[in-house]
Structure 1
Amino acid sequence: MRTRPATMAMKVPEIALIFWIAKLCTTGFGESFSDYVFFNDYIGQHAAMLMGLGLLLVCLAVQFATTKYTPWVYWLAVTAVSIFGTMSADFLNKDLGMPLYASTLMLVAVQIGVFAAWYATQRTLDVHSINNRLRELFYWLTVLCTFALGTAAGDFAAVTLGLGTLASSFVFLGIILIPAAGYRWFRLNEVLAFWFAYTITRPLGASVADWLSVPAPYGDGLQLGTGPISLVLGILLAGVVGMIGTRYLRADSLEAAPMEAAAEER
């Protein structure tokens, strides 16, 4: 007799407005901080990649070790994925000399492959069904792919297509409205709308961060510096995650109160 795989508590957040705000914060911070470290002559690109990989592995190990959704653990893992995903896309372009169109197409193919394998084995791509280890693994592989793809796509739009970072920001802002409108008014599949929007938040946040931060002679925006913008976005991200954590603890306490009262009555 075949046994069903063990299920576990949900370890991903509910999809609400605060989720998308936090996601955009991780994309902007990951882009600017990755650029600050990756293109830092005192560190070196190879050392930066190893540091990014080490941070990613530690954060994912902690995330996988948790037994339920824990806001600071989850969002720290997303931030680490954002940093390493950015570095991975930059490595393909800067170190391996892969054209941006080629790296974008390759990462699209990789993401489609992960989706195909996930659906073939689990028959769902719904984030609300992340309740076993294999689905959790596919989830984080997909998240990593979206960050790397988003970085490559953002650079492709800004550099190869010659749009620049500001115009690219508005282009991706328009694109992200497609799944939102499709889900709201045209009955677009919820799972498709989510992953479409999730992927596009990456180049949107990265384009805005590049417009704010990338210095001359490479930047075409405000050129405020990747270090200062990383600090500002890091503080903003910490504040948003702190708000999420506070709301989560409050909701957890409200759910626990009736159970404790019932136990006392017995």
Structure 2
Amino acid sequence: MEKANNAIVKVPEVTLAFWIIKIAATTLGETGGDAVSMSMNLGYLIGTIIFAAVFLVAVVAQMRSERFSPALYWVTIIATTTVGTTLADFVDRSLGIGYAGGSALLVFLLLTSLFIWYRAMGSVSVTTVSSSKAEVFYWVTIMFSQTLGTALGDWTADTAGLGYSGAALIFGGLLLALVIAYYATEIPRTLLFWAAFILTRPLGAVVGDFLDKPIANGGLAMSRYNASIALVAFILVCGSVFRQRPAEASH
């Protein structure tokens, strides 16, 4: 039983600070991913390979760690958002599947990951991530959710014609609805967590695009580099101000 407790401390407690940092991290994933693939002109495929390598290194370090490290955890989360950004763009644009097709494919992969995780472990709650096997499912699921969020954000803002601010209001409203459901209904908390986790990614994607796209296209025309630096600074401040504790193990 002690081994389970040691494993679960690597996953943070889900609090308001968690969600604030999560949204900032997903926004950074958008601006950082675009900075490498577009501003540096490396392309989506090369960008994906670079960030996938960073993601694998971070996940291995996270899984080998014997204690909860907020810095390591959030570096791994940011790695999933950056590789999710470039991978989604590669699938949607370079492969020509389109936002709708890419979103449908990623929904299938995400649901399949959750289904296999549930069948193998009996729960998909983050409080039961108490073994290396569960950690693998956890990070694979997060990877799919981050990639899906990028595709959904781009589809809503561009194809659906809502623009960045309109899409941000949509996803922000959906997140608010989940908060209300958390306090006013008996909907399983695990379901609400994953729904919120998924929705924070498209919110971050459209906010990231809003920051760096030209004013003529509805953005603020910040450079991707400046936006990324500002977001890194914000995350560091939040990490210093808000004390993050490990989640309690569920047995």
- 1:77 maps onto 2:76 in alignment: yes
Which protein has the larger Cα radius of gyration, Structure 1 or Structure 2? 1
- Report the AA paired with residue 168 of structure 2: S
| Partner deviation per Cα, 1:5-54 (whole Å, 9 max, x = no partner) | x6343120001111001101101111111011111354343332221111
The runs of 5 or more residues in structure 1 that have no matched partner are: 253-266
- Report the AA paired with residue 155 of structure 2: F
Q: Structure 1's 48 and 222: CA in aligned 2 closer, same or farther, altered over 3 A?
A: same
- Report the AA paired with residue 225 of structure 1: S
Query: For residues 102-181 of structure 1, what are the structure 2 equivalents within 5 Å?
Result: 102-181=101-180
Q: Indicate the larger mover: 177-186 or 30-39.
A: 177-186
The runs of 5 or more residues in structure 2 that have no matched partner are: 247-251
Secondary structure of the equivalent of 1:222? coil
- 1:241 maps onto 2:239 in alignment: yes
Counterparts of 1:142 and 1:45, CA distance in 2: 22
| Partner deviation per Cα, 1:241-263 (whole Å, 9 max, x = no partner) | 2334xx35xx79xxxxxxxxxxx
TM-score (norm 2): 0.91
Counterparts of 2:90 and 2:42, CA distance in 1: 15
Which residue of structure 2 aligns with residue 24 of structure 1?
Answer: 23
Which structure is richer in relative contact order (CA contacts within 8 A, separation 6 or more)?
2
| Contact 2:44–2:87 (CA under 8 A) maintained in structure 1 | no
Counterparts of 1:163 and 1:169, CA distance in 2: 9
| Partner deviation per Cα, 1:77-130 (whole Å, 9 max, x = no partner) | 001111001111011012111110000011001100001000011110111111
TM-score (norm 1): 0.86
| Contact 2:91–2:102 (CA under 8 A) maintained in structure 1 | yes
Which residue of structure 2 aligns with residue 101 of structure 1?
Answer: 100
| Contact 1:75–1:241 (CA under 8 A) maintained in structure 2 | no
| Contact 1:157–1:164 (CA under 8 A) maintained in structure 2 | yes
Counterparts of 2:28 and 2:129, CA distance in 1: 26
Q: Percent identity?
A: 30
Secondary structure of the equivalent of 1:107? helix
Q: Structure 1's 215 and 36: CA in aligned 2 closer, same or farther, altered over 3 A?
A: farther
- Report the AA paired with residue 143 of structure 2: L
| Partner deviation per Cα, 1:130-182 (whole Å, 9 max, x = no partner) | 10111111110111111100000000101111111110000001111222111
Secondary structure of the equivalent of 2:167? helix
Counterparts of 2:12 and 2:131, CA distance in 1: 15
Deviation of 1:240 (Å): 1.6
Which residue of structure 1 aligns with residue 249 of structure 2?
Answer: none
Q: Indicate the larger mover: 47-56 or 192-201.
A: 47-56
- Report the AA paired with residue 9 of structure 1: A
- Report the AA paired with residue 17 of structure 1: L
| Contact 1:215–1:225 (CA under 8 A) maintained in structure 2 | no
State how many pairs are aligned. 243
